[in-house]
């Protein structure tokens, strides 16, 4: 369950996140089961994924061997491609937002920073979006539009994280 304070988000941000998960258009995207609200908060109830997130798995297991890292990176590539196919870019790919189902396969989660792609594969942004440890350095500058390829930098950090980061050093 994701609890979102109404005072800190815009309606369009939450609607985008809700719509992506409610589509059920991809096996790689966490499915929304229910959405409701009270006076102060919005609630998104997602499917239960018992494997937790990739960060928790890395913390328990330590650095992955090459075969396991390749497996998760292959699945991550398919997951990101499926999101792009429905016209969105995630903008916050990191181990905490990669969940694991009961069969060991991944699903993307947390679409709070997601943005729609235009016809040319551009994303409009008034300010940098994402987690600083994973965001492309050039996106830390304030820019209005950027190509989809720049949004893939966060994905390029994941292999390094999977193969080398120990539980004592999960942040750059």
DSSP labels, the chain: -EEEEGGGS-HHHHHHHHHHHHT---TTBPPEEEEEE-SSEEEEEEPP-TT-BHHHHHHHH-SPPHHHHHHHHHHHHHHHHHHHHTTEE-S---GGGEEE-TTS-EEE---TT-EE--TTSEEE-SS--S-TTTS-GGGGS--SEEEGGGGGHHHHHHHHHHHH--TT----
126-141: average pLDDT: 70
For the purposes of burial, counting CB atoms within 10 Å of the CB of 55, is it exposed (0-12), middle (13-18) or buried (19 or more)? middle
pLDDT digits 0-9 by tens, 78-130:
999 999 899 998 989 999 999 999 999 999 999 988 888 888 877 777 766 77
Which of the following is catalytic: 92, 101, 154, 169? 92
Q: Please, what's the b/e burial string for 133-168 (b: 16 or more CB within 10 A of its CB; e: otherwise)?
A: ebbbeebeeeeeebeeebbebbbebbbebbeebeee
- For 49-164, CATH number? 1.10.510.10
Domain locations in the chain as residue ranges = 49-164
Can you give the pLDDT at residue 138? 64
Phi, psi of 14 (to 5 degrees): -70, -40
CA 157-155-125 angle, to 5 degrees, is 110
Check if 92 is active-site: yes
Residue 167 pLDDT > 50? no
Instruction: At 61, list the tokens.
Output: 């297991």
Question: How do 106-108 and 115-116 pair as beta strands?
Answer: unpaired
pLDDT digits 0-9 by tens, 14-37:
888 999 999 877 899 999 999 999
Give pTM, 2 decimals. Answer: 0.84
């Amino acid at each position: 369950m994701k609890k979102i304070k109404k005072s800190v988000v815009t309606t369009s941000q939450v609607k985008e996140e809700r719509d992506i998960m409610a589509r059920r258009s991809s096996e790689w995207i966490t499915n929304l089961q229910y959405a409701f609200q009270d006076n102060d908060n919005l609630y998104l109830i997602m499917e239960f994924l018992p494997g937790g997130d990739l960060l928790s798995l890395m913390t328990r297991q330590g650095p992955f061997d090459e075969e396991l890292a390749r497996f998760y990176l292959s699945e991550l590539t398919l997951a990101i491609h499926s999101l792009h196919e429905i016209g969105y870019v995630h903008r916050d790919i990191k181990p905490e937002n990669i969940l694991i189902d009961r069969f060991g396969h991944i699903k993307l989660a947390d679409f709070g920073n997601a943005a729609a792609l235009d016809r040319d594969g551009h994303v409009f942004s008034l300010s940098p979006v994402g987690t600083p440890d994973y965001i492309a350095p050039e996106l830390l500058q304030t820019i209005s539009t950027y190509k989809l390829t720049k949004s893939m930098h966060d994905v390029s950090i994941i292999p390094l994280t999977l193969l080398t980061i120990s539980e004592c050093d999960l942040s750059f």
